[in-house]
Chains A and B, each alone.
Chain A
Amino acid sequence: MVKRLRLFLLFLVLFAGFFVLNNTKSPVIPLVSFPEPIPTTTPPKETTVIAPDMKQTLIMKEQKDSESVRHSFLTVDKEGETPKQVFSKTVDAERSISIPFNTWSPGNKYLFLKEASFGKGNYIVLTSNGSPLSKNFQTVNIGDLFNEKYSDYIITDVTGWAAPTLIIVNTNNADGTTGPSFWFDVTTLSFIKLSIRFN
């Protein structure tokens, strides 16, 4: 009798242990599928510059990825009108294009932009309606044109417009001393050396 009881108890313990063990198994985690992360593009950064006479607006949109930045430039005459793209350029991540304070020409026919690369600046001139600047050029790079003609001077900055078609270009001499100022005439794509400094 005692023997049977012991067997029964043993069986009970074994059964209970088995039961407990079964219930302490790692919970079954239902399979959940995680979707692949969708690469999201950063919304383009927008910069707006109104013309000094308030009659036009320049909009710059910057779309960045890991290696480059695409700059798009649009102009619009009146609120509510669809902006018109007048220029775009993609530069690598080390460069940048910015809108100078005096970007608009008097009368709003032209714009100039600054492209910076490794601390050096170059300046792009374009029309505000996207039409070619001249017969052969959609836009013009002031630094490239200047360097072709004046190897004795180095452009230090381009500050603004002296008149509707004249951009002010300041230089240093090759030895680093202060050089002359020039006017760049956007209608003839020529430089006029001045006897006075403009900065």
Chain B
Amino acid sequence: MKRKFNITTFTIGIFAVFLLTISVRNLILSKKDQTCANTISCSQSFELKVENDAVGIFNSQKIIPPSVDISQKELATRVLGESAETGEKRVYVDLTHQTLSAYEGDSLFMQTLISSGKWFPTPAGEYTVWVKLKATRMSGGEGADYYDLPNVPYVMFFYNKEISKGRGFSLHGAYWHNNFGHPMSHGCVNMRIIDAQKLYDWIDPPTKENTTYADADNPGTKVIIYGEAP
């Protein structure tokens, strides 16, 4: 017996397939949005790592990273007397103009050019610093965009409710390019080493060791990122 073709059933079926396709697509995209800023090193970048004999790769070029001194004597020499101001510390990153401004109360502590995300956008929002590392290794990308960078100096990881700690966004020094004032990174906020050092020594939590975690007694400084990168 021939089955009668039911147009209603057919239409509902097509609509269901359409909804399923959209759901699967959104699921895939949301997973992609959860990747680390450094897609290969990811959480390994959250640990202090000093490799003074390693060679880095960026834009298909080998690069010699700066040596990192993790002695306590070097730390003590730098941290003393960094700031005499009082007041709440805040860091503002202006993506539109590619600048960073750090304030203590109403007093401007420093202002400089930065490089935000080019290959992956630096997310705007209000964040808190959760850990500071004297140096770590960061790697990610693929093909011509592949990078592997030992001894990334003065790393300040930040997070909020939308961008978790595991995403690995940070402020840090960059020795592999000098194009500050223009987006260059894979999501992090790149700074000249001289600027990253100055910010690292000032930003909370106060530096105690080569790895310094924020906690209830020593909360991290707020980092406000706004605007739209060119």
Asked if A53 is an interface residue, CB under 8 A from chain B, the answer is: yes
- The stretch among B14-22, B60-68, B83-91, B131-139 that forms the contact with chain A is B60-68
Provide the residues of chain B in CB contact with A161, threshold 8 Å. 177-179
Q: Which of B113, B175, B182 contacts A106 (CB 8 A)?
A: B175
- The stretch among A62-70, A87-95, A123-131, A162-170 that forms the contact with chain B is A162-170
Q: Contact at B194–A160, with CB atoms within 8 Å?
A: no
**Complexed CA–CA distance, A90 and B58 (Å):** 37
7 pairs from A and B in contact (CB 8 Å cutoff): A52-B178, A52-B192, A101-B113, A102-B181, A161-B179, A163-B58, A166-B61
Q: A163-B63, A165-B61 are in contact. Are A198 and B178 (CB under 8 A)?
A: no
Asked if A86 is an interface residue, CB under 8 A from chain B, the answer is: no
Q: Tell me whether chain A's interface is mostly helix, strand or loop, or mixed.
A: loop
- Closest chain-B Cβ to A12's Cβ sits at a distance in Å of 87
Provide the residues of chain A in CB contact with B178, threshold 8 Å. 52, 102-106, 160-161
Q: Contact at A162–B59, with CB atoms within 8 Å?
A: yes
- Within residues 168 to 183 of chain A, which ones have a CB less than 8 A from any CB in chain B? 168
**Complexed CA–CA distance, A106 and B180 (Å):** 12
**Complexed CA–CA distance, A105 and B179 (Å):** 9
- Closest chain-A Cβ to B85's Cβ sits at a distance in Å of 24
Provide the residues of chain A in CB contact with B59, threshold 8 Å. 162-163, 166
- Within residues 20 to 78 of chain A, which ones have a CB less than 8 A from any CB in chain B? 50, 52-54
- Closest chain-A Cβ to B2's Cβ sits at a distance in Å of 58
- Closest chain-A Cβ to B29's Cβ sits at a distance in Å of 22
Q: Tell me whether chain B's interface is mostly helix, strand or loop, or mixed.
A: loop
**Complexed CA–CA distance, A54 and B176 (Å):** 15
**Complexed CA–CA distance, A165 and B59 (Å):** 11
Closest to B193 in A: A53
Asked if B81 is an interface residue, CB under 8 A from chain A, the answer is: no
Provide the residues of chain A in CB contact with B60, threshold 8 Å. 163
- Within residues 162 to 196 of chain B, which ones have a CB less than 8 A from any CB in chain A? 175-182, 184, 192-195
Q: Contact at A164–B193, with CB atoms within 8 Å?
A: no
**Complexed CA–CA distance, A62 and B180 (Å):** 26
- Closest chain-A Cβ to B55's Cβ sits at a distance in Å of 12
- Closest chain-A Cβ to B113's Cβ sits at a distance in Å of 6
Contact with A along B193-230 (1 / 0, CB 8 A): 11100000000000000000000000000000000001
**Complexed CA–CA distance, A42 and B195 (Å):** 34
Q: Contact at A54–B63, with CB atoms within 8 Å?
A: no
**Complexed CA–CA distance, A86 and B60 (Å):** 29
**Complexed CA–CA distance, A163 and B178 (Å):** 8
- Closest chain-B Cβ to A69's Cβ sits at a distance in Å of 26
Q: Contact at A160–B176, with CB atoms within 8 Å?
A: no
Asked if A98 is an interface residue, CB under 8 A from chain B, the answer is: no
Q: Which of A50, A164, A168 contacts B63 (CB 8 A)?
A: A164
Contact with A along B43-77 (1 / 0, CB 8 A): 00000000000000011110110100000000000
Q: A53-B66, A101-B113, A199-B230 are in contact. Are A164 and B179 (CB under 8 A)?
A: no
Q: Contact at B194–A101, with CB atoms within 8 Å?
A: no
**Complexed CA–CA distance, A99 and B66 (Å):** 24
Asked if A17 is an interface residue, CB under 8 A from chain B, the answer is: no
Contact with B along A146-163 (1 / 0, CB 8 A): 000000000000011111
Contact with B along A94-121 (1 / 0, CB 8 A): 0000000111111100000000000000
**Complexed CA–CA distance, A104 and B177 (Å):** 10
Provide the residues of chain B in CB contact with A159, threshold 8 Å. 179, 181-182
Provide the residues of chain A in CB contact with B176, threshold 8 Å. 106, 163-164
Provide the residues of chain B in CB contact with A52, threshold 8 Å. 175, 178, 192-195
**Complexed CA–CA distance, A138 and B175 (Å):** 26
Closest to A103 in B: B178
Provide the residues of chain B in CB contact with A101, threshold 8 Å. 113, 180-181
Provide the residues of chain A in CB contact with B58, threshold 8 Å. 163
Provide the residues of chain B in CB contact with A166, threshold 8 Å. 59, 61
